[in-house]
Structure 1
């Protein structure tokens, strides 16, 4: 069982700091690396995989430095977000090439085993250029698994994958974590992480914002009021009505039109709003969340 450890790790590009003094430990099981787009997740994964040297600090696997260490690379499988530009190869050729790069004693057997794990044996003879987005994700995963690594790193693996393939991939990652592998996947979508990772690491603007059990951090995220902009046929009357609602923490008129409402209990608010509008002869034209982006959620989390 392998453990990845980052100690005061930073990475900068000229004057741009992508990762700033991050320390975290990733152990066996499935861990979600959660953060908004541009938070530094891809840079962190590249350093964990040994593709990028830290500008400061250390990245180690079981006490050994990851950067420039061939023996450690044999224990790590990487599924990058970037599409592989190997459309001229078949899926089988692509996976076998990775098996041969790792100098496996039986590359053919390893290739078929990896293709079987991701349920891609039948279309493996087709060119990758003919694959759907989900199939391309799976062939990248097969290539990452061909040498049977103890550590699996996946950068935004669910991007562009249809619901059926997403469920298959989630089941696969869950199974690998249960086998004792160290599985880390990044995502900017809270619900994806919630499905399969009990432990999460949260990064915001290159900084480590939170670490621990998903449930506890999720509750912290949702303890804040939700903010909605409501446009109606009678905004002032609606604001007066909403000020008396138990699920509402604050109300103000938006200068551009509409009512900005802070909601403490969304379920109760969603049930009461249509009823109250009808009772007071108000037509609801728009109800829009204004702070449900992960950027706003994480900003709240950092300041909590």
Structure 2
């Protein structure tokens, strides 16, 4: 199993710093790479893929340096955001060429398997120029998978895909992650990242702003009050009780139940059950209202 490690990595272009002193480690599974436009996500992916030399620091993939090391591509597959597929080729010719470049023992069999995985076998003999954007994207994924890489890097992999194609690609990536592959993908659609992976690396202004499970990241944000939506058998009595708890900053009554603001996630969740039990109140809903990836991301980029 391969891991990706960046140690004190910076990359600059003249006076412009694209990536600034990033240190991170990514192991097997699915990891989402997030950040605002221009934050440095694509630069980080290109550093991982060995397409860019770090101006400072070291990038290692599967124990080998990524830069100036063609051998790393035996274990690495890459799908860039920018399309560079020759439209005059068929998908079969394109994926077969990728298999041949990798010097696989049976390039044709590998190409057939990769096209089957992305559901392009029926259209494999059509020129890529006749494909929809989603089909072109899938042909590029097939070319990146043809040599069965341990590490897969994808920059906006769902671009142009319809809902069915997107669901199939998510299932494919999940299956590969469960099989032990290391997969890093960027997406500007936070819902996609949330569905695929709870583990994120957030890049803001070229720096690593947060790393790990986004729910855990949220709970570490002690300067941001946590918000819960709570429904019970007696919301008004519960509201009165909670207002007397030192961990509660505010309570409001809504159509969905109580909206409770707390500055201490752990203390509040423990106290809530005790208060409810002591007064015979039955809790029916306890829902963190601001623990979504969208909320965590918005807090990180506006901090």
Q: TM-score, normalised by structure 2?
A: 0.74
In the alignment, what sits opposite 2:198?
198
Deviation at 1:293, TM superposition (A): 9.5
Whether the 8 Å contact between 1:79 and 1:153 is mirrored in structure 2 is yes
Q: For residues 205-284 of structure 1, what are the structure 2 equivalents within 5 Å?
A: 205-217=205-217, 268=254
Count of residues in Structure 1 that have an aligned counterpart in Structure 2: 246
Report Cα offsets for 1:213-237 as digits up to 9, x if no partner: 13223566895699xxxxxxxxxxx
In the alignment, what sits opposite 2:299?
297
3-state SS in 1 of match to 2:124: helix
- Alpha-carbon distance change, 265 to 187 in structure 1, aligned in 2, over 3 angstroms: farther
Report Cα offsets for 1:248-277 as digits up to 9, x if no partner: xxxxxxxxxxxxxxxx999948999xxxxx
CA distance in 2, matches of 1:125, 1:266: 62
In structure 1, the gaps of 5 or more residues are 227-263, 273-291
- Alpha-carbon distance change, 267 to 129 in structure 1, aligned in 2, over 3 angstroms: farther
CA distance in 1, matches of 2:160, 2:114: 22
Q: TM-score, normalised by structure 1?
A: 0.74
- Alpha-carbon distance change, 221 to 88 in structure 1, aligned in 2, over 3 angstroms: farther
Deviation at 1:153, TM superposition (A): 0.3
CA RMSD of aligned residues (A): 2.7
In the alignment, what sits opposite 1:183?
183
CA distance in 2, matches of 1:165, 1:28: 24
- Alpha-carbon distance change, 225 to 141 in structure 1, aligned in 2, over 3 angstroms: same
Deviation at 1:61, TM superposition (A): 1.5
CA distance in 2, matches of 1:166, 1:266: 39
**Regions of 4+ moved over 6 Å:** 264-267, 269-272, 292-295
Deviation at 1:186, TM superposition (A): 0.8
- Alpha-carbon distance change, 133 to 209 in structure 1, aligned in 2, over 3 angstroms: same
3-state SS in 2 of match to 1:159: coil
Whether the 8 Å contact between 1:36 and 1:294 is mirrored in structure 2 is no
Whether the 8 Å contact between 1:58 and 1:65 is mirrored in structure 2 is yes
In structure 2, the gaps of 5 or more residues are 228-249, 259-293
Report Cα offsets for 1:62-102 as digits up to 9, x if no partner: 32211111221111000111112411111111111111111
